[in-house]
Chain A
């Protein structure tokens, strides 16, 4: 056994953060949300880069194992990724460009299909409840929907295209940041560690390690959740007989990255497709809704706790409450960012609380400062 290691736990008991620390964690998460909401142009590429660096790390590790230096391996995986991305983008643009008119007509067709489904549903409801019939609900909703769908392209598609073009430079920053995350991640680690006093050094390094682990397991959990959601939705939609079931499942699973709003958007998308492609069979749209509700329940009670929730070790009540807070503070970006931010704030808060409330560490730090002051003044007396 080493002279300095062993199994004599003097201070092995570790308690979690107290109520003050928890209040600090929630406050810090909210403040971060407000701050980050103002620099989304930077947050989005940084998050993309983080996810990309986690995804590119395994091939980079293989290259390093094969003998390449960290720098060469990072440069190679990022370059290959960029070439694949550019090729895929060009192919997609060529494919989408040739079908631009079809796309526009398709969007309008699907919206009309959704409107017809809504109109029929309201008509059935009016036939059963006279209160709704007296309110003339079906007619007024249909008029509003017709107005909306007639001007949909001008009002929604064009601003969407403009905002995608505006976000393009920020998206290009993602792979650029990812390269530096992969190459210099360790140097950054060392840079932070150098700024920490000796007494807090080991705990701070442990904190950085935990933060890294939390981030990695969160995004790895999110990727697993997306695959599980795609399989569940794809299988369900394929069983219902919807065209493009797997693609629709994937799009809906990706949209579900934004809690609640994303799931609703995914469900609406599938309902529109079902209503348009099966105009004579409204049951298909209702089955699609049932499928979404089932997958949502599966997500909340099976998939999410086993993937993302497990990685962050969050109580379900806290997760839901924080999602509401995130939405209220920073809108849709807040919904998407609140859980990873809370995860990081929890790790930092717990570690800071442990470090700052540790009297022994504080005493050691003060003692070291006194020693340094005495050394600096040694020849002045």
Chain B
């Protein structure tokens, strides 16, 4: 009955909400996150970042596929990330060099989340950034478990 009071969620926000990292966020939080994201478009074959490059941002794949491989060896794929996936997430924590190269496999649209923006969210939006950090910790835990087992 009071459905008109429910906030209208745009398709962009629904896409963000579908990402594991942002799955706990409210519509208000999602709008804030969307405000700090940068949209970039890459053509198939274009390098997103190189191995050894200083990592400053996390990349979220909106459309298309991204190949993670050793520098200059796309035939030796480490991972292939499709729409809804993300990579380069450790840049949110520090600016350590990238361990692999990222290349666009298809023409793709990426959302870029900068580490410095995340740090300023930590100052201004504590609840929001804690939710992201919690999902991030779960994500790392899953990866670690996958590596150990």
Report A's interface with B, CB cutoff 8 A. Answer: 1-12, 61, 64-65, 70, 186, 190, 193-194, 198-199, 201-202, 205-206, 209, 360, 364, 367-368, 371-372, 375
- In the complex, the answer to whether B123 meets A4 with C-beta atoms within 8 Å is no
- In the complex, the answer to whether A205 meets B38 with C-beta atoms within 8 Å is yes
Which B residues touch A371, using CB under 8 A?
Answer: 43-46
- In the complex, the answer to whether B52 meets A8 with C-beta atoms within 8 Å is yes
- In the complex, the answer to whether A367 meets B47 with C-beta atoms within 8 Å is yes
- In the complex, the answer to whether A4 meets B100 with C-beta atoms within 8 Å is yes
Given contact pairs A4-B68, A10-B50, A367-B46, a sample of 20 additional A-B residue pairs in the complex whose CB atoms are under 8 Å apart: A2-B99, A2-B143, A3-B79, A4-B100, A5-B98, A6-B98, A7-B97, A9-B52, A12-B97, A61-B123, A190-B38, A193-B38, A198-B46, A201-B112, A202-B54, A209-B114, A364-B47, A368-B43, A368-B46, A372-B43
- In the complex, the answer to whether A6 meets B53 with C-beta atoms within 8 Å is no
Q: Does B9 contact A (CB under 8 A)?
A: no
Which B residues touch A198, using CB under 8 A?
Answer: 40, 42, 46, 48
Bound: A1/B97 CA distance, A: 13
The 7 closest A-B pairs by CB, nearest first: A10-B52, A6-B99, A5-B90, A11-B52, A209-B116, A3-B79, A371-B43
11 interchain pairs, CB-CB under 8 A: A1-B143, A1-B147, A2-B143, A3-B100, A4-B55, A4-B98, A6-B98, A7-B99, A198-B40, A205-B57, A205-B116
Which B residues touch A209, using CB under 8 A?
Answer: 114, 116
- In the complex, the answer to whether B116 meets A202 with C-beta atoms within 8 Å is no
Bound: A9/B143 CA distance, A: 22
Chain A interface helix/strand/loop/mixed:
helix
Which B3-49 residues sit within 8 Å CB-CB of chain A? Answer: 35-36, 38, 40, 42-49
Bound: A201/B41 CA distance, A: 12
Which B98-149 residues sit within 8 Å CB-CB of chain A? Answer: 98-100, 102, 112, 114, 116, 123-126, 143, 147
Which B residues touch A360, using CB under 8 A?
Answer: 50
- Give B12 Cβ to nearest chain A Cβ, in Å: 14
**Chain B, Cβ-Cβ closest to A210:** B116
Chain B interface helix/strand/loop/mixed:
mixed
Bound: A378/B90 CA distance, A: 38
Bound: A205/B47 CA distance, A: 18
Given contacts A10-B71, A371-B43, contact A4 B49 (CB under 8 A): yes
- In the complex, the answer to whether B47 meets A5 with C-beta atoms within 8 Å is no
Bound: A5/B95 CA distance, A: 9
- In the complex, the answer to whether A4 meets B38 with C-beta atoms within 8 Å is no
Bound: A199/B124 CA distance, A: 30
Given contacts A198-B42, A201-B40, A205-B57, contact A3 B124 (CB under 8 A): no
Which B residues touch A190, using CB under 8 A?
Answer: 38
**Chain B, Cβ-Cβ closest to A205:** B114
Q: Does B61 contact A (CB under 8 A)?
A: no
- Give B73 Cβ to nearest chain A Cβ, in Å: 14
Partner of B97, one of A11, A70, A193, A201: A11
Bound: A8/B51 CA distance, A: 8
- In the complex, the answer to whether B124 meets A2 with C-beta atoms within 8 Å is no
Bound: A198/B112 CA distance, A: 11
Which B residues touch A199, using CB under 8 A?
Answer: 47
Chain B CB count within 10 A is highest, among A4, A12, A364, for A4
Which A residues touch B56, using CB under 8 A?
Answer: 202, 205-206
Bound: A375/B46 CA distance, A: 12
- In the complex, the answer to whether B88 meets A5 with C-beta atoms within 8 Å is yes
